[in-house]
Each structure stands twice: as structure tokens, then as C-alpha cells.
Amino acid sequence: MGFHSGHQSHRFVLRAGTMEQHLALEAAVGPLNSLPAYTRYLRGLQAFRTPLERQLAAVAIPPALSPVRPIPLAELVVQDRADLGDHVPVWEETASLSLSPSALFGVFYVLEGSTLGARLLHKQAGQLGLGAAHGARHLAEQISSPETWKQFVGVLDAADDLNMDEAVVAANAVFGAAERALARQDDAEYSNRGPDEL
């Protein structure tokens, strides 16, 4: 693959190496312009974040990344779904990850970067009458510390001996798992049936 940074910052190497998957995920999310669209998004997010957060909780985080560890959101997403009366079980979509130190930089790149997109999603949720107290807790939490992205980028670009191949592969695996989790919500076979019903 050969994603060598040279004089280019690690952030831009990751951005270039994940652009295709990133755009595919944005297309899968789509505009949250109705409660059904927002409910679909919540289901997909829970299906993606729950197993990923379990994976991250089970590994040792490098000291450099500890201060910029992404905020867990899965439980808040569950609460948001409960606010909307949505209790349909979701199929978890697990990313295939090595979770090496370099891979963790790629994972954090995706999760911390999602805080930027959360600003738009939070605005769209607000137009549906949702907010920090009802239905959009996870988005309110994501945008509560806007400085964390800059902090992460500083840590990323200052990292020594970072294997960019591993970082890019991990980031794409996370983007891909999120896209699959959302796309699955469009499958009529899964959208209103839990895993024990199939």
C-alpha cells in the first residue's frame, strides 16, 4: 500500500488514504431531515459504536493518546433511541482491527473527526425538536469539547515511528464498519427484526 508521510503531516496522509470510505459513509448517513431518517441513523450508530467501544476498552491505549481518547457514545445513543420509543434490537457491525498502537491512531482519527460532522447533525436534530435533554444526547456530548480535534491532530502529527499503512487500514476499517451498519438499516429483512428473529 505504501502510505508514507515524508514531509506531509500524518493527518493529511490519513485524509487522502481514507477519502473514498469517508465519502461513502457520509452518503450512507444522508440528511437527517425526518424522525425516521434520524431513527435509522441512531440504530446504525449503536450497531457500530457498541462493539467498537468494547474493543477499545479491552486494549491498552498508548500514553500519547490517553488525553485525546474519544468519548464513549453508545450508552447515550441507547438513551436517545429510548426517547424516541425505538427499542428494536440492532445487529452489531464489528470492525476488523489489529488495534496496534499505529492502528489506534487511525481509529481515533475517525472517531475524533466525527465530532466535526456532529455539529451539522446536531443542527439537523434540533430542527426535529431534539436536543441534549431529549433524543440528541450523544450529539450534544460530541460537540461539547470542540478543542479535542485540534488536540488530537497535534498528537497525531507529533507521533514518532507511526506506521501509516496500519493507521490508514484501521481508519478505513472503522469507516467501513460504520457504513455497513447504516446500510443494513435499509434492508427490510433487518430493519424491524432483531438478531434472534432471523
- pLDDT tens, position by position, 151-195: 999 999 999 889 999 999 999 999 999 999 998 888 744 555 544
pLDDT at residue 168, rounded to an integer:
97
The number of folded domains in the chain is 1
**Dmax (CA) of the chain:** 53
Domain annotation covers residue 1: no
Does a structural domain hold residue 184?
A: yes
CA distance 73 to 46: 8
Asked if the structure places residue 2 within a domain, the reply is no
- Can you give the CATH number for the domain in which 184 is found? 1.20.910.10
Rg (CA), the chain: 17
CA 90 to chain centre: 16
Structural domain boundaries enclosing 58: 10-197
Overall pTM > 0.85 = yes
Helix, strand or coil, per DSSP, at residue 63: coil
